[in-house]
């Protein structure tokens, strides 16, 4: 049995008592010397140094003990951070053991006033989103919040028809527009178009402007609101990530209500997405969804190199030439910074090293893979139970094939419903889904620790499999979607919606003999600290 560690309060009393004894001894020495002969300077300095050393020693023990207790408090949060015999405990790769203690909470508070009714509005906000489906989703969520800040009526946002994907889908083709309007009615008034009488009364066409990225609430109030008051209708273009990451908690919760509740896909998209989920469930009780961004344009934008020689360099350089404003990038530098998407083979190796067996079922969400079947084959060899939406739905997929946003929406549904979601990059879909899965119960979401894993993959052939697997597990601590990874101010809010995650408080926690948490209290709701 180990020696029982003294409590910090006991050490503190011991420290103070010892220090006091030392000082009393010094005082006695001084009084005694005053009757005899003056104390020498060297003796006095020695006594003072001894006293300071004793205090420092005891203070160090006290600080160490405080650190030990604080670490115990952190480690009791989940099996994931617990130490057993000096080693980290195994990770439950399918489910977080502490997710049951957290839940999504985004209800509006009683002091969050109702929206101004449209018939009394003299301000209309037009929004032109930018990018693919999930990039546009962030723009839509932020547009609702900006309309609230400006006390304006929001016109249904326009989706991007001119981006790389060339999808001419409108908002109502992808999202349930009536649900969107009704769900947010108390927060923001939303209309399908500017009323004709308002347009006829305007002396000039709507004012168009582009705000800087990550603009603050104050920026909108000082720079946009005066123009909106004067012109009545303002359009904000290229609207993606144009709102600051950190906002008042009530506005953050509004972001969550939009993203996780109001933005519901249309019935045809929803039905097909759920069919694919059911078909995966029939094949296996649980499955992994892999979001694989390895399209030619993705690799060209990344500036990375994957060993394809002059052919690869020429092909990707040709794609990059379509965007002359792209800065020159160093492939080695981007790799070291963790900005290069993992190859399908690297994704397979990481999953196998974490402990997923080769009979695990994979749903792979991807576009056109650079290198085609040859590039995908190593992943299929590692996980033969490999499925895509094209494999699960043949003729049913035909009506959606010309619309990249609707195809992305189907992938989004299956990835959201999967037991484990993993991505080879940290793009828009990865961030949006990571945030949603945290909000919806902290379903296991794995994000590769790209900086550390990159160098590990380069050394793969110089170590045996057990060593490689052990190092992968070590690299991935803190990147497995545990609730404890959430903290206010970390990363992008759409990925880490900390204001919308609540923890169930406890009066007491006890640990069973398996070192898992057992609660012994009544639950209430408090925000995540």
**Is pLDDT at 523 greater than 50 in this prediction?**
no
**Which pLDDT belongs to residue 121?**
82
**Which pLDDT belongs to residue 529?**
38
**Which pLDDT belongs to residue 322?**
84
Summarize pLDDT for 259-270 with one digit per residue, the tens: 999 999 999 999
Backbone angles phi, psi at 404, to 5 degrees: -65, -35
CA–CA distances in Å: residue 448 to residues 30, 200, 351, 385: 65, 54, 10, 22
Mean of the pLDDT values across residues 145-163?
A: 95
Summarize pLDDT for 456-504 with one digit per residue, the tens: 999 999 999 999 999 999 999 999 999 989 888 888 999 999 999 999 8
**Which pLDDT belongs to residue 475?**
94
Label each residue of 244-257 as H, E or C.
CCCCCHHHHHHHHH
Tokens standing for 508? Answer: 């007491």
**Which pLDDT belongs to residue 261?**
98
Q: Which domains does the chain have, with CATH numbers?
A: 121-261 (3.40.50.11340), 267-294+341-506 (3.40.50)
**Which pLDDT belongs to residue 336?**
87
**Which pLDDT belongs to residue 517?**
37
**Is pLDDT at 152 greater than 70 in this prediction?**
yes
Sign of the Cα torsion 404, 410, 414, 416 reads positive
Grouping H, G, I as helix, E, B as strand and the rest as coil, residue 370 is coil
**E strand or H helix that includes residue 318:** helix 309-320
**Which pLDDT belongs to residue 504?**
86
Of 130-134, 140-144, 254-258, 508-512, which gets the smallest average pLDDT?
Answer: 508-512
**Is pLDDT at 14 greater than 50 in this prediction?**
no
Judging by DSSP bridges, how do beta strands 102-104 and 501-503 pair with one another? antiparallel
Q: Are the CB atoms for 468 and 353 separated by under 8 Å? A: yes
Mean of the pLDDT values across residues 376-391?
A: 97
Summarize pLDDT for 83-106 with one digit per residue, the tens: 444 445 677 999 998 899 999 999
With bands split at pLDDT 50, 70 and 90, how would you rate the model's confidence at 54?
low
% of the chain exceeding 70 in pLDDT = 79
Label residue 26 left, alpha or beta by phi (over 0 means left) and psi (-120 to 50 means alpha).
alpha
**Which pLDDT belongs to residue 103?**
94
**Which pLDDT belongs to residue 79?**
33
**Which pLDDT belongs to residue 45?**
56
Q: If you write DSSP's letter for every residue of 201-228 in order, what string do you get?
A: H-SSPPEEE-PPTTB-HHHIIIIIHHHH
CA–CA distances in Å: residue 161 to residues 129, 158, 171, 205: 9, 9, 11, 22
Label each residue of 61-75 as H, E or C.
HHHHHHHHHHHHHHH
Write b or e for each residue in 238-269: b if 16 or more Cβ atoms lie within 10 A of its Cβ, otherwise e: ebbbbbbeebeebbbbbbbbbbbebbebbeeb
d(CA 270, CA 400): 12
Tokens standing for 366? Answer: 């991807």
> Helix 267-283 and helix 404-417: axis angle, to 10°?
40
**E strand or H helix that includes residue 287:** strand 287-292
To the nearest whole number, what is the mean pLDDT of the chain?
Answer: 84
d(CA 179, CA 199): 26
d(CA 332, CA 313): 14
Summarize pLDDT for 329-348 with one digit per residue, the tens: 999 899 888 899 999 999 99
Mean of the pLDDT values across residues 383-387?
A: 98
- Which residue do the tokens 């009488």 mark? 197
**Is pLDDT at 416 greater than 50 in this prediction?**
yes
Summarize pLDDT for 15-42 with one digit per residue, the tens: 445 445 554 554 555 454 444 445 555 5
Q: Are the CB atoms for 446 and 422 separated by under 8 Å? A: yes
> Helix 450-458 and helix 465-476: axis angle, to 10°?
170
């Amino acid at each position: 049995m180990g020696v029982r560690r003294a409590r910090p309060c006991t050490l503190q009393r011991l420290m103070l008592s010892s220090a006091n004894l030392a000082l009393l001894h010094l005082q006695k020495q001084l009084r005694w010397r005053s009757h005899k002969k003056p104390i020498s300077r060297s003796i006095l300095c020695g006594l003072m140094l001894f006293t300071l050393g004793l205090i420092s020693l005891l203070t160090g023990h006290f600080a160490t003990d405080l650190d030990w207790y604080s670490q115990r408090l952190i480690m009791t949060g989940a099996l994931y951070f617990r130490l057993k015999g000096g080693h980290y405990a195994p990770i439950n790769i399918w489910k977080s053991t502490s997710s049951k203690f957290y839940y999504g909470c985004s209800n509006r508070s009683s002091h969050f006033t109702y929206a101004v009714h449209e018939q009394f509005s003299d301000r209309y906000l037009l929004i032109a989103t930018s990018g693919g489906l999930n990039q546009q989703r962030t723009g839509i969520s932020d547009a609702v919040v900006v309309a609230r800040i400006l006390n304006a009526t929001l016109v249904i946002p326009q989706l991007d028809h001119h981006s790389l994907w060339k999808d001419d889908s409108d908002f109502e083709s992808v999202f349930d527009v009536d649900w969107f309007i009704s769900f947010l009615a108390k927060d923001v008034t939303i209309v399908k178009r500017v009323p004709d009488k308002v347009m006829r009364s305007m002396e000039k066409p709507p004012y168009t402007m582009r705000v800087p990225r990550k603009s603050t609430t104050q920026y909108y109030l000082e720079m946009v609101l005066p123009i909106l008051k004067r012109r009545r209708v303002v359009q904000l273009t290229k609207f993606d990530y144009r709102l600051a990451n950190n906002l008042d908690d009530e506005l953050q919760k509004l972001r969550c209500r939009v993203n996780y509740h109001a933005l519901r896909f249309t019935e045809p998209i929803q039905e097909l997405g759920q069919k694919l989920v059911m078909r995966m469930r029939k094949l296996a009780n649980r499955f992994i969804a892999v979001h694989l961004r390895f399209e030619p344009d993705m690799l060209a934008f990344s500036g990375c190199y994957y060993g394809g020689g002059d052919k690869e360099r020429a092909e990707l350089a040709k794609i990059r030439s379509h965007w002359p404003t792209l800065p020159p990038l160093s492939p080695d530098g981007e790799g070291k910074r963790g900005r290069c998407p993992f190859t399908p083979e690297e994704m397979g190796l990481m999953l196998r090293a974490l402990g997923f067996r080769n009979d695990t079922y994979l749903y792979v969400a991807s576009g056109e893979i650079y290198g085609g079947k040859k590039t995908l084959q190593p992943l299929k060899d590692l996980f033969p139970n490999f499925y895509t939406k094209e494999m699960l739905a043949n003729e049913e997929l035909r009506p959606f094939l010309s619309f990249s946003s609707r195809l992305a929406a189907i992938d989004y549904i299956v990835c959201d419903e999967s037991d484990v979601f993993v991505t080879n990059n940290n793009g828009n879909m990865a961030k949006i889904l990571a945030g949603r899965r945290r909000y919806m119960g902290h379903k296991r979401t794995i994000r590769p620790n790209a900086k550390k894993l990159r160098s590990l993959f380069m050394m793969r052939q110089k170590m045996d499999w057990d060593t490689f697997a052990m190092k992968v597990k070590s690299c991935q601590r803190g990147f497995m979607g545990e609730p404890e990874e959430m903290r206010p101010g970390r990363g992008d809010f759409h990925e880490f919606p900390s204001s919308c995650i609540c923890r169930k408080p406890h009066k007491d926690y006890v640990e069973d003999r398996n070192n898992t948490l057992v609660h012994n209290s009544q639950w209430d709701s408090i925000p995540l600290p």
